[in-house]
Amino acid sequence: MEPEQTLPPVRSEMGGRDMDQARALFEDTYNGAGFRTDTRQETFAYRYTTAGDEDMTLRSAMFLGDIRGAIQPEREYVVAWITAGEGRVDVGAEEAAFEIGRPLMFPTGKAFEFEVREYRQNLVHFDAAYLERMAAEHEGALAGPLQFDHTAVPDLANLRRWQATITNAAKTILGGESTELLRSELKRESAFALLDTFSHRSIDLPPALLVPRNARLREAVEYLHTHSHLPVNMTQLAEAVHLTPRGLQQAFSRQLGVTPTEYLRTIRLDHVQAELKELAPGEATVAAVAQRWGFTHLSRFTASYVKRFGEYPSATLQG
């Protein structure tokens, strides 16, 4: 029997005293804009390190100065805690302050303002698709977007479990080579600990999808949730879940009372509503959000929105 293959995690480190370089790094990493710094060049320094793989990375950041701006991590879920300094996220909205040693989820589903001062920080990044698959497995939900409440204070027992789990993962990931199987289990345990610790909402399964005979229909529904931000071809969807196009149509019609296209439209409407709720008036228009989710005819979109939610999208945006 051949020994199991061992592969080291991917590592990177950047640092120095160039303020413009630091600003560009953090803007690029966190899909940021409008970063502003307030510090003297002679005392400034920064460092940013990462270790992990495409599913989960452990990171650390140091910024010896003041920085503020807006960020919106793309297709990632991020939990962070500071070991020195101070800072706030979602400034001017649902503000949450960093406390030394206490993990805080980054707000999800929107851009948010932040400000930090003279800080050192540890972070765990999860790829969105990976964590959503873990949530589907762990919670019996659909593999779709998760909405975390960054203002919620975690239960102490769950928080201790999370910290112990991440400490154990860090020892292995940062300690050198490890087997693919071991890293897979550590990522899995870390994902489950995060989901148990930080308050969030996921997409509940319709009861019909819990019946074993509807396993392929469940796969199709999960596929639509996961790919709702992309062009979806129903023939390709049928092939992906090993059904004929006619069989796919019949499964949706019999069990859910809609066609696959109608189900996808409902998913996208839900995404539009979620975005409109998070936006402040003036940040974006209803038309822009609707078009981002594939609605090309504004009047038809509005009619569908009103039918589903009982109010005009403009009313949702106004809050």
pLDDT tens track for 35-81: 988 876 678 999 999 999 999 999 999 999 999 999 988 889 999 99
Instruction: Please list the alpha-helical segments (H only) found in 229-259.
Output: 234-240, 245-256
Q: In this structure, what token pair is assigned to residue 183? A: 């890293």
CA–CA separation, 91 and 116 (whole Å): 11
- The answer to whether 70 touches 33, Cβ cutoff 8 Å, is yes
- The pLDDT of residue 276 is above 80: yes
* Domain architecture of the chain: domains with CATH: 1-204 (2.60.120.10), 207-318 (1.10.10.60)
> How many CA atoms, within 13 angstroms, populate the side-chain half-sphere of residue 34?
10
CA–CA separation, 179 and 182 (whole Å): 5
Segment 161-188 mean pLDDT: 88
DSSP 153: P
- Could you tell me the pLDDT band of residue 3, with boundaries at 50, 70 and 90? very low
pLDDT over 70 percentage in the chain? 95
CA–CA separation, 199 and 197 (whole Å): 7
- Could you tell me the pLDDT band of residue 192, with boundaries at 50, 70 and 90? very high
CA–CA separation, 274 and 79 (whole Å): 21
User: pLDDT tens, 284-310?
Assistant: 899 999 999 999 999 999 999 999 999
- The answer to whether 123 touches 78, Cβ cutoff 8 Å, is yes
pTM of the model: 0.74
